Structure 1
Amino acid sequence: MSWCLFEKVAFKESKEPNDSRLVAIGKDIVKKCAGNPLVIRTIGGVLYTKDTKTEWLSLKERQLSMLTRNEDDVLSVLKFSYEQLPSYLKQCFAYCSLFPKDYEINKQMLISLWIAEGFVQPLQGIQCLEELGDQYFMDLLRRSFFQDVEYDEWGNVISCKLHDLMHDLAQLIAGSDCSMVDLDCENISERTHHVSLSAELDSSWKIPTTLLNANKIRTFLLPMQPIHRVVLDKVDHEAIISSFRLMRVLDLHNTGLHILPRIIGKLKHLRYLDLSKNEVIRKLPSSITELLNLQTLKIYSCKRLEQLPRKLSNMISLKHLETGQCTGLTHMPSGIGQLTSLQTLTRFVVGTSSFEMASGGLRELKDLNELRGELMIAKLENLRNVAAECNEANLKEKQHLEVLTLDWSREGNSHVTFEEDEALLEGLQPHSNLQEFHIYGYRAESQLPKLKVLRLEEINAIEYIEDSSAESSSSLSFKGNPMNRGREGKEFFLCLEELVFFDLRNLKGWWREAPLVTNDNHGAAASSQRPLQKKESMPSFPCLSKLKIGICTNLSHMPLHPFLEELELKNTPARLLQQSAMVAAGANLVYPLYLSKLKVMHIDGIKDLVSFPEKGLHHLISLQHLSIENCPDLICLTEEGLKSLTSLRFFNIRCCEMLKSLFKGFKHLTALEELEIKECRELDLSKDLEENVMELQCLRTLRIGDMPKLSSLPDGLQHVTTLKDLQISSCSNLKTLPEWIGNLTSLQRFEVLDYPQLASFPRTLYSLKALEYLEITSCSKLFDTGQIKKCKNWSMIAHIPEIVIDGEKM
């Protein structure tokens, strides 16, 4: 396990190189790291920048020769890693000492702070400081100065944390220059330039004299202010502002600010101002536009803020204007479009012509082509000249935008026509790099010919997607889609790549047609409404690659999706899965390889699924990930249903309480790398996998748990010598581990969890030379409490580099 971690951080391609000498040095270094993940990551990050064996040997012999598990020794290694940083990264890292331990640091906020402090300077070829700051951040992350990273759905880093020892190092390096102080501000010295408060402000807080006297302060941060709104009527905001004329960074978020003092305009050096979550503030003083160096202005969630200053265009350095959730804003000031350096403008509000002050329309967006991230355009119902303004908005040139939201509030604006809505939607034409497109309050019909992603979530009123019977409040209507419902599998949204239906509990089908009145034998009107069970009523999505349907309990039919790559069905009727299989089984000349491109399939919470479909799954030749969870009536996985899954690499079965047999289908899963079977209480793997598991010669990971009928591990498992990770948990009837476990020569990680009957280890465990990590939890018969290393079982595992017993690292 330690070597795997080292590989990822020390080598350029995150895997073992061909240089055997370098590998040997690396393994010696890993041993000296004594299984400490922080040290391994940190040293690996240093070695990543070293290319020669001489440099690696030097580090091993000089820096790690005396390393023990003592915390002071670990800190010395971290300090050595810090000393290898270029100077521009050193100050960026030290600045992180202003945040409390275990604090989740937002990446974009941190980069903006670095830029405001002047830590990020332009380089030849890279003039965008945000891009350069991003490189700084990723460099520190790669060197393991950051950890616990959170990512967004596109793989971008959102936030990170510092390990406690890394935080200690940052404080040590920063010294008195950066001080995180309590509310009485006692530790501030004359040398302090950057201050953060380690506790949240309360209504009784008065600014300490020590803070007011520290007139060289350039940074004032409040990282501990709560998420919920606070009322701090007694905080003297003016005293804070007037005392620190050299301020570059000022954080007053969620401090109960009613009126921002006019003196704010005197802070000529200010580059970063956070006023967010002051929900009672209604207006910003005009003097704020005198802050010609201000780069970041955060006013998000100032919900009663009605307008921005008229001369906002004077703030020529402004790059980030965070206006999200400023729902009280009535318009954008005329001239905001002159701020061509703007990269962040989260909410743009279209105003009406009734305001006394000039209101900027969509044409203000024309030259703001550096905008990136998210943009919401709100109150679109206020547009008057739709065609002209949509064209002037110039969205097609905003290549950095990732998320665009269009919002019609419909608050008493009867002059707006549905045709204008349609013209607006078709006229905006966002750049093709856009990754998400959200629409609220849209009322027109539209063909949306180029739509790639459609998500409908939590709309209980919808019964049909298309309803030609009449105007209906229980359907969505997309005019112009070439559906031609009388023919088989007509195409629906030609360019759609992703379709998500979630929590549409009343959705019944794709369309409901107008009733046709005929004279039948009974003289009554007969409806021509086509039954959705017929194949000709199924829409086809020719480009669909991702389909997710969740909590649609009344949906009667799946769409045709011949080239689907990812399918997720959650809390749906079993018939949807069965229908897809049936269509594949009867695939005609139009789609001869139906489902052949499917790579990922997740099945979750299908309560009435009894067996995995036997027919129609022979086309799943590309399936690599299969997950079946929370299907309480599932009894078996048949061989016929599994034998075509020759590309399957990851298989997960959980919470299928009635599952009794996997049958012989597993012998066909020859590409399987990871298998997890848990909480299948009727399943006895010792019988099911006895012979079939021998064929799994690519298996790397096996996790089994919560199976009381399992009395012994399948003997065939001893032949799976590729196994690297084995976890056994909560199998109450399993009393011993077999001696043949010594045959698993590639095993690196072994976890035995909640195994109360286990009294000893097999003697062959000592022969597992590749084993690097052993975890034992709730195995009370193995060791006497408090005397673990004196027990006879300890000698059989003492050679393993990393051992964790009941959560404690040995």
Structure 2
Amino acid sequence: MPNLIRLRLQQCRRCRHFPQFGLNKLKHMEIHEMEFLEYVPEKCLKSLSSLESLEIWGCPRLTSLALGLQHLSKLVDLSIEYCEELDLSKDENGNIIISDLHGGLQSLRSVNFSHLPKLESLSQWLLQARNLERLNIEHCNGLKALPERIEALQSLQLLKISDCKELHSSKDESGNIILDFHGGLQSLRSVVFTHLPKLESLPQWLLQARNLESLQIWRCYNLRALPERIEALQSLQRLEISECDSLMSLPERIEALQSLQRLEISGCDSLTSLPEGMQGLASLTHLCISGCKELDSSKDERGNILDFHGGLQSLRSVEIGFLPKVEPLPPWLLQLSNLEHLYIWHCLNLKALPEQIEALQSLQELKIWYCPSLTSLPEGMRRLTSLTHLRFYGCRGLEERCKRDAGEDWCKIAHISNIYILP
């Protein structure tokens, strides 16, 4: 089979290690559910000189692999999952790999590590993959730190780390705070942190990623704050924070994120206020705030009424939901003269829309779901001349009042071309 291009080995129950294949034209190799496979000899991988993708899945006794990777000079994609005994820092004899891989892995573009409990830090050999673009690490509960030399991954564009329960990403392997990477990570465009329960602050190296466009932080329950120097992320266009229960505030310097277009905050139970600095988000087009039970969206950190002083003029869409402290709508919302879409859902204590709602002269769509305390509409609805779509769902107090041609509030909305009112 000298011309074989693709090979999949699965459930070969008696196989403990591989022979030298001699398949120098093989490009794609998959190793799945090899229950007794203990190691892949260096000479075996050395014979696969044309290999472009290597996928290993479900090999619970596999202990070593790394040293042979240096010979895979054409390898583009590497994926290793569910290998409970695999230590990527050691060779087949159990010795720690401390030397480099002599320039190997220069074609490597994508790496996926999943369910590797013995992965405690990123191996030094991986940091030599200077052309690596995508790195995904998930369910690696032994991972405690990212290496100080992560800046060596000069081509890295996407970094995703999820479900690593021991990760302290603000420290290196020795427990030292990482402060500066001297301008590294300039290719990084997207970072996703998901379910990192020991993450208390974002790593300082993140602030060196000056071209970062998207930052998503989900279920980092002990994250207490975003860095005050967040203004360093001048290219950031999308910021999502979800289910970060300990997050108490957003930094005032958030106003310096002049490229930010989307800001989504949800399920942050300790968040009590919004920063006045939000008024400076000149490029913001979409704002979503939901599920923050302690948030008083009408006040700043000092308890003063939040006033955006005519800022946020690029904002076109606002969504607010599951905010029990919203009784009237926050006054700053009425300053958004270019707002086109307003969605409000599950604000159980919202009692009325403000009479000044007529200030939203660009509003085209108003959608309100499950706000049972809302029982009437203001006169200002008549003057929303741009409003073409009105939707009420589960607002029982409005059903009769907005009944076509008969309800008390029908005359206030009769000019709207598309009206949907459902129980």
TM-score (ref. length: structure 1): 0.42
Does the C-alpha gap of structure 1 residues 763 and 631 become closer, same or farther in structure 2, counting only changes over 3 Å?
same
Partner of 1:625: 238
Looking at structure 2, the residues matched to 677 and 460 of structure 1 have their Cα atoms a distance apart, in angstroms, of 40
Partner of 1:433: none
- Is 1:650 the counterpart of 2:273? The answer is no
* TM superposition shift of 1:784: 2.8
* TM superposition shift of 1:489: 13
- Is 1:597 the counterpart of 2:194? The answer is no
Does the C-alpha gap of structure 1 residues 783 and 542 become closer, same or farther in structure 2, counting only changes over 3 Å?
same
Contact residue 51 and residue 74 of structure 2 kept, 8 A:
no
448-457 vs 671-680, which moves further:
448-457
Partner of 1:805: 421
Does the C-alpha gap of structure 1 residues 384 and 481 become closer, same or farther in structure 2, counting only changes over 3 Å?
closer
Residue type at the aligned position of 1:718: L
The superposition leaves residues 559-603 of structure 1 with CA deviations (integer Å, 9 ceiling, x where unpaired) of 876121100111115547532x2x366xxxxxxxx2111000000
* TM superposition shift of 1:632: 0.8
Does the C-alpha gap of structure 1 residues 787 and 508 become closer, same or farther in structure 2, counting only changes over 3 Å?
closer
Question: Which residues of 2 match residues 630-779 of structure 1 at below 5 A?
Answer: 630-640=243-253, 642-688=254-300, 690-692=306-308, 694-779=310-395
Looking at structure 2, the residues matched to 385 and 482 of structure 1 have their Cα atoms a distance apart, in angstroms, of 23
- Is 1:378 the counterpart of 2:9? The answer is yes
Looking at structure 1, the residues matched to 385 and 49 of structure 2 have their Cα atoms a distance apart, in angstroms, of 65
Does the C-alpha gap of structure 1 residues 490 and 668 become closer, same or farther in structure 2, counting only changes over 3 Å?
farther
Gapped runs of 5+ residues in structure 1? 1-360, 366-374, 396-403, 431-436, 511-531, 586-593
Does the C-alpha gap of structure 1 residues 633 and 676 become closer, same or farther in structure 2, counting only changes over 3 Å?
same
Looking at structure 2, the residues matched to 623 and 735 of structure 1 have their Cα atoms a distance apart, in angstroms, of 36
Q: How many residues were matched structurally? A: 378
Residue type at the aligned position of 2:31: D
Kindly report the root-mean-square deviation, in angstroms, between the aligned alpha carbons of the 2 structures: 3.8
* TM superposition shift of 1:786: 11
* 3-state SS of 1:795 partner: helix
Based on CA coordinates, which of the two structures has the bigger radius of gyration? Answer: 1
Looking at structure 2, the residues matched to 738 and 502 of structure 1 have their Cα atoms a distance apart, in angstroms, of 47
* 3-state SS of 1:764 partner: helix
Looking at structure 2, the residues matched to 453 and 428 of structure 1 have their Cα atoms a distance apart, in angstroms, of 9
- Is 1:480 the counterpart of 2:115? The answer is no
Partner of 1:341: none
Match of residue 497, structure 1, among 119, 133, 151: 133
Contact residue 197 and residue 219 of structure 2 kept, 8 A:
no
- Is 1:552 the counterpart of 2:159? The answer is no
The superposition leaves residues 677-707 of structure 1 with CA deviations (integer Å, 9 ceiling, x where unpaired) of 0011111112247312731000010001111
Contact residue 282 and residue 313 of structure 2 kept, 8 A:
yes
Partner of 2:185: 562
* TM superposition shift of 1:466: 2.2
Residue type at the aligned position of 1:492: Q
Match of residue 427, structure 1, among 17, 34, 50: 50
Contact residue 399 and residue 421 of structure 2 kept, 8 A:
no
- Is 1:612 the counterpart of 2:226? The answer is yes
Residue type at the aligned position of 2:278: F
Looking at structure 2, the residues matched to 451 and 542 of structure 1 have their Cα atoms a distance apart, in angstroms, of 18
Question: Which residues of 2 match residues 229-628 of structure 1 at below 5 A?
Answer: 361=1, 363=3, 365=5, 377-378=8-9, 386-387=21-22, 389-391=23-25, 393=26, 395=27, 404-407=28-31, 418-429=41-52, 438-440=55-57, 444=65, 445=67, 446-447=69-70, 448=72, 453-455=77-79, 457=81, 460-461=84-85, 465-467=88-90, 471=94, 480=101, 491-509=127-145, 535=148, 540-557=152-169, 562-563=185-186, 564-573=188-197, 575=199, 577-579=201-203, 581=204, 583=205, 594-615=208-229, 617-628=230-241
* 3-state SS of 1:676 partner: strand
Contact residue 386 and residue 423 of structure 1 kept, 8 A:
no
Does the C-alpha gap of structure 1 residues 408 and 492 become closer, same or farther in structure 2, counting only changes over 3 Å?
same
Does the C-alpha gap of structure 1 residues 412 and 612 become closer, same or farther in structure 2, counting only changes over 3 Å?
closer
Looking at structure 2, the residues matched to 386 and 489 of structure 1 have their Cα atoms a distance apart, in angstroms, of 24
Looking at structure 1, the residues matched to 141 and 206 of structure 2 have their Cα atoms a distance apart, in angstroms, of 27
* TM superposition shift of 1:794: 2.3
* TM superposition shift of 1:763: 1.7
Looking at structure 2, the residues matched to 568 and 383 of structure 1 have their Cα atoms a distance apart, in angstroms, of 36
Residue type at the aligned position of 2:189: E
Residue type at the aligned position of 2:185: P
Does the C-alpha gap of structure 1 residues 712 and 455 become closer, same or farther in structure 2, counting only changes over 3 Å?
farther
* 3-state SS of 1:660 partner: coil
Looking at structure 1, the residues matched to 100 and 268 of structure 2 have their Cα atoms a distance apart, in angstroms, of 43
Looking at structure 2, the residues matched to 385 and 490 of structure 1 have their Cα atoms a distance apart, in angstroms, of 24
Contact residue 166 and residue 198 of structure 2 kept, 8 A:
no
Contact residue 52 and residue 76 of structure 2 kept, 8 A:
no
Does the C-alpha gap of structure 1 residues 461 and 797 become closer, same or farther in structure 2, counting only changes over 3 Å?
farther
* 3-state SS of 2:397 partner: coil
Looking at structure 1, the residues matched to 135 and 368 of structure 2 have their Cα atoms a distance apart, in angstroms, of 41
* TM superposition shift of 1:450: 5.7
Does the C-alpha gap of structure 1 residues 639 and 413 become closer, same or farther in structure 2, counting only changes over 3 Å?
closer
Looking at structure 1, the residues matched to 233 and 224 of structure 2 have their Cα atoms a distance apart, in angstroms, of 20
Partner of 1:794: 410
Question: Which residues of 2 match residues 126-165 of structure 1 at below 5 A?
Answer: none
Contact residue 610 and residue 634 of structure 1 kept, 8 A:
yes
Looking at structure 1, the residues matched to 151 and 125 of structure 2 have their Cα atoms a distance apart, in angstroms, of 5
The superposition leaves residues 746-769 of structure 1 with CA deviations (integer Å, 9 ceiling, x where unpaired) of 211111112222221122212223
Does the C-alpha gap of structure 1 residues 477 and 777 become closer, same or farther in structure 2, counting only changes over 3 Å?
farther
Higher RCO (Cα < 8 Å, 6 or more apart): 2
* 3-state SS of 2:228 partner: coil
Residue type at the aligned position of 1:422: L
Does the C-alpha gap of structure 1 residues 364 and 495 become closer, same or farther in structure 2, counting only changes over 3 Å?
closer
Looking at structure 2, the residues matched to 703 and 565 of structure 1 have their Cα atoms a distance apart, in angstroms, of 26
* TM superposition shift of 1:744: 1.4
Looking at structure 2, the residues matched to 390 and 468 of structure 1 have their Cα atoms a distance apart, in angstroms, of 23
546-555 vs 452-461, which moves further:
452-461
Residue type at the aligned position of 1:621: Q
Does the C-alpha gap of structure 1 residues 425 and 645 become closer, same or farther in structure 2, counting only changes over 3 Å?
farther
More helix, by proportion: 1
Contact residue 100 and residue 128 of structure 2 kept, 8 A:
no
The superposition leaves residues 277-327 of structure 1 with CA deviations (integer Å, 9 ceiling, x where unpaired) of xxxxxxxxxxxxxxxxxxxxxxxxxxxxxxxxxxxxxxxxxxxxxxxxxxx
Looking at structure 2, the residues matched to 467 and 412 of structure 1 have their Cα atoms a distance apart, in angstroms, of 19
* TM superposition shift of 1:427: 2.7
Contact residue 450 and residue 494 of structure 1 kept, 8 A:
no
